[in-house]
Amino acid sequence: MSKKKMSLVSALAGSFILIASSCYGFGGLGTQVNTACAPAQPYIGDCALCHTSDFGAATPAKTAYSAGGSALTDFFCPSGPVCTDSDGDTFALEGGDCGPVDCNDGNAAVNPSAAENCTDGFDNDCDGLIDAQDPSAVGCPPVCTDSDGDTYAVEGGACGPLDCDDSNAAINPGAAEVCGDGLDNTCDGVIDEGCPTEPLCTDNDGDTFAVEGGECGAVDCDDTDSAVNPSAQEDCTDGIDNNCNGLVDALDSGAANCPAVCTDVDGDAYAIEGGECGPVDCNDADATVNPGAEEVCADSVDNDCDAEVDEGCDPACPDADGDGYMDAACGGNDCNDLDDAINPGASEVCGNGVDENCNGASDDTCISCPDGGVLSITKAFFKEGKLVVEGRSHIRTRISIVDGETGDILRENIRVKGGKWKVEIEKLPRGYEPETIKAVNTDGCEAEKEVTVKREDREDRENDERDDD
């Protein structure tokens, strides 16, 4: 070995040892640059200094210096960057001047120019997105959305024909077009294709009216019967809605053959409707006023409903007692025109021998009341502050208990059955002791009895009065 080569080896050995420890202030290994070069170059080797040339210089002049500044030997800069490509796919691990980074230098199918493939679970194109995460991936299974469950999805493409309305299961590419609904049922972009341009009108009974209504005209409410349609006459004899207006028989004001509805509130056989119901009753609240009644003079009433008052009456024959009935001498039927309690409309009063109702008989509506024959009082006494009255009645009736002296009613409208009866009267005025009691029934029959006051009851009353004093 020549002296020059040995000197170089020796110098290199000393230089590498010294430079490896401190690099003389020019920086360490790795990615730092050698600022002594122009332009600055990455360090190559152990702290080698490149003074004059960059990568690829034709005749590079490199000089390495020892710690003392003496030249040791010449070094040549590399002609380009150092790029590692173990899998031979032309992409290196280093990146930078070596190009895009190969994220897997052990698999030539993985590099920045590869296509992302959903079948292997790798990041094939080194963009950080794996399989379906990468929008550019190929071989991925389609994602198909079918919200309405009609087996058609909104995505189309690999998911099959596109569902144009995924909220309605009746609308999809496999559906049939429904005429007249205004929808694209088949998702072909056309509404009502193949449908007739004229409205579809169903008339099964041939009466020229259809069940659809709308553009087909008025609705036929029964398309099985040609006699039932909107132009028919409502008829009260069949119990159906003949003219399809929702009203059956007499409920329809235009119905034919309906029985007359006659209102007769006062029961005088005359109705307010007239027509088929007969002459009109001009006052259906008064049975004495109707077309069959006689005019009553001086009552200011149209008694016979002829729209005239007191027609045919003699002005010289007034109603003297003002009871609405004229004297018989003037053609009226008031048998006593001086007493307003006596007229054909009055009630008979039993037992007075007077013909109150002008029917020619007095007391004709009264029953016979022989002594003790209908009503009797068997006992009348005070007991514990109450007036007790017991008796018998031969008929079912109502009675009143009255004071035999004053006629004051002590209790009235008492229902009694045939046989024995008993009445207890409480809350009498203090000190009140009638001497006789009468029982009077609704037919005018009466019975009278003296009242017995027991000694002990009288003493109690007297003691009460003294206490009050």
The CATH number for 417's domain is 2.60.40
Per-residue CA distances from 227 to 244, 258, 259 (Å): 11, 18, 22
pLDDT class of 350 with cuts at 50, 70, 90: low
Evaluate if residue 32 carries a pLDDT over 90.
no
Of 73, 88, 119, the one marking the end of a domain is 73
Residues 323 and 380 reside in one and the same domain: no
Residues 412 and 339 reside in one and the same domain: no
Q: Judge whether 85 lies within some domain.
A: no
Residues 390 and 449 reside in one and the same domain: yes
Q: What are the start-end ranges of the E strands in 163-287? A: none
Query: Contacts for 43-46 with beta carbons within 8 Å, 24 or more apart?
Result: 44/77, 44/78, 45/75, 46/16, 46/19, 46/20
Q: Which of 240, 239, 277 is nearest to 259 (CA)?
A: 277
* Residue in this structure with the two tokens 């960059």, named with its chain if needed: 54
* Residue in this structure with the two tokens 């056989």, named with its chain if needed: 269
Q: Judge whether 153 lies within some domain.
A: no
Which pairing describes strands 386-393 and 375-383: parallel, antiparallel, or unpaired? antiparallel
Residues 357 and 383 reside in one and the same domain: no
Q: Which of 72, 74, 104, 70 is nearest to 89 (CA)?
A: 104
Q: Judge whether 114 lies within some domain.
A: no
pLDDT class of 297 with cuts at 50, 70, 90: confident
Q: What is the pLDDT of residue 311?
A: 82
Of 52, 73, 94, the one marking the end of a domain is 73
Q: What is the pLDDT of residue 315?
A: 67
Q: What is the pLDDT of residue 304?
A: 94
Q: Judge whether 214 lies within some domain.
A: no
* Spatial separation of the C-alpha atoms in residues 36 and 22, rounded to whole Å: 16
Q: Judge whether 324 lies within some domain.
A: yes
Average pLDDT, stretch 215-221?
92
Q: What is the pLDDT of residue 373?
A: 58
Evaluate if residue 61 carries a pLDDT over 70.
no
Evaluate if residue 271 carries a pLDDT over 60.
yes
Residues 17 and 54 reside in one and the same domain: yes
Of 73, 108, 132, the one marking the end of a domain is 73
pLDDT > 90: what percent of the chain? 32
Q: What is the pLDDT of residue 194?
A: 84
* Spatial separation of the C-alpha atoms in residues 77 and 45, rounded to whole Å: 10
pLDDT class of 371 with cuts at 50, 70, 90: low
Residues 359 and 401 reside in one and the same domain: no
Residues 447 and 401 reside in one and the same domain: yes
* Spatial separation of the C-alpha atoms in residues 51 and 31, rounded to whole Å: 18
* Spatial separation of the C-alpha atoms in residues 167 and 62, rounded to whole Å: 78
Residues 361 and 380 reside in one and the same domain: no
Determine the structural domain holding residue 392 and report its residue range: 375-459
Contacts (Cβ under 8 Å, ≥6 apart) of 395: 374, 418, 441
Q: Judge whether 468 lies within some domain.
A: no
Which one is predicted more confidently, 272 or 158?
272
Number of domains in the chain: 3
Q: What is the pLDDT of residue 385?
A: 79
Average pLDDT, stretch 52-57?
36
β-partners of residue 398 are 415
Q: Judge whether 353 lies within some domain.
A: yes
Whole-prediction pTM value?
0.26
* Spatial separation of the C-alpha atoms in residues 373 and 382, rounded to whole Å: 26
Residues 422 and 360 reside in one and the same domain: no
Is there a contact between 129 and 123 (Cβ–Cβ < 8 Å)? yes
Q: What is the pLDDT of residue 365?
A: 56
Q: What is the pLDDT of residue 27?
A: 34
Residues 392 and 362 reside in one and the same domain: no
Evaluate if residue 339 carries a pLDDT over 50.
yes
The H or E element that residue 211 is part of is: none
The two structure tokens encoding residue 312: 């045919």
User: pLDDT (tens digit, 9 = 90+) per residue, 121-171?
Assistant: 889 999 999 988 888 888 888 888 999 999 999 988 888 999 999 999 999
User: pLDDT (tens digit, 9 = 90+) per residue, 69-95?
Assistant: 434 333 444 456 778 889 999 999 888
Q: Judge whether 127 lies within some domain.
A: no
